[in-house]
Amino acid sequence: MDVGLNMSISTNSIDVAEIAAKAEALGFESIWLPEHPVMPVNTASKYPGSPDGSIPDYMSDMADPYIGLARASAVTSNIKLGTGITLIPERNPLVLAGAIATLDRFSGGRFLLGIGTGWLREETEIMGGDFDHRWTQARESIEVMRALWTQDAAEYHGRYYDFPPVQCNPKPAQEGGPPVILGGNARNVFRRVARWGDGWMPTAASPEQIAAGRAAIDELAEASGRDPSSIGITVFGQPADRELIGQFERAGANRVIVRLPDTTGVGALEEMERIAEAVL
């Protein structure tokens, strides 16, 4: 079972390079950074992760994950580098494809593309996304990027993206592009994962939900002519609990991501040591 760390890098965080080097030295398999490019001042949307729907303050202060992971890649050699998550409808896939390919190449093929479509309608719409059909837009975006990563001259003609043949270089170090790992717990997620994803990454899931998800993905993958073993499960944002991680492994997960709650001082490095002692 692989164990990684997810964290939010803010204005007051210690250097992400220091965190990444420490994580690699301790034996973590991966680090993951989130994003909210902007946070609307006034919203009607409710945050699903809090009882009263209030949006945590830290969400308005997040460093860009791609720049953070690029910095992390420069001081590490083995640890994998993931987005947890990239809000795909909020990014232009032609620009993002080049950024991802560059990061993957510079890091020696260590990038993992965790994606989602968000819960904050106001943010998605400000950034130009179609909130009501955001997973349809996300699928098109991934199709665009995979075409750019694998073809000398790629073109695409869809609902959201439409362009003539273009060249996009460099190509990623990983053949075909980095793994695309879909976040979310919506009822259609298993069908999406089985059809066009390389993995599933739910948040706040129980071992029982992981076991049910594994069975559903396996059945749908086989029906689509895919090898179910090629589709992994990453359980995101879990506590540092060795027994719970073992339950996830027995349920069919391949990776568990433990949250590092604070990155604002030297105590963060000590907390990483405590987490490593508890779970590695």
- Whether 157 is covered by a domain: the verdict is yes
Contact 167, 98 (CB under 8 A): no
Residues 15-27: tens digit of each pLDDT: 999 999 999 999 9
pLDDT for the residue 265: 86
User: How many domains does the structure of the chain reveal?
Assistant: 1
Which residues, 6 or more positions from 58, have their beta carbon under 8 angstroms from its beta carbon?
Answer: 8, 10
Name residues of the chain where pLDDT drops below 50: none
Helix (H, G, I), strand (E, B) or coil at 116: strand
Q: What domain range includes position 167?
A: 2-181+264-279
Q: pTM to 2 decimals?
A: 0.97
Helix (H, G, I), strand (E, B) or coil at 130: coil
- Whether 38 is covered by a domain: the verdict is yes
- Whether 275 is covered by a domain: the verdict is yes
Helix (H, G, I), strand (E, B) or coil at 240: coil
- Rounded CA-CA distance 212/217 in Å is 9
Q: What is the CA radius of gyration of the chain?
A: 18
- Rounded CA-CA distance 134/48 in Å is 17
Residues 201-231: tens digit of each pLDDT: 999 899 999 999 999 999 999 999 999 999 9
pLDDT for the residue 266: 82
- Whether 192 is covered by a domain: the verdict is no
- Burial label, 77 (beta-carbon count in 10 A; 0-12, 13-18, 19+): exposed
- Whether 28 is covered by a domain: the verdict is yes
- Whether 94 is covered by a domain: the verdict is yes
Bridge partners for 238 per DSSP? 258
CATH number, position 106: 3.20.20.30
- Rounded CA-CA distance 117/87 in Å is 5
- Rounded CA-CA distance 199/142 in Å is 14
pLDDT for the residue 185: 87
- Whether 40 is covered by a domain: the verdict is yes
Q: Which two tokens stand for residue 114?
A: 């965790």
The interaxial angle of helices 267-279 and 242-251, nearest 10 deg, is 50
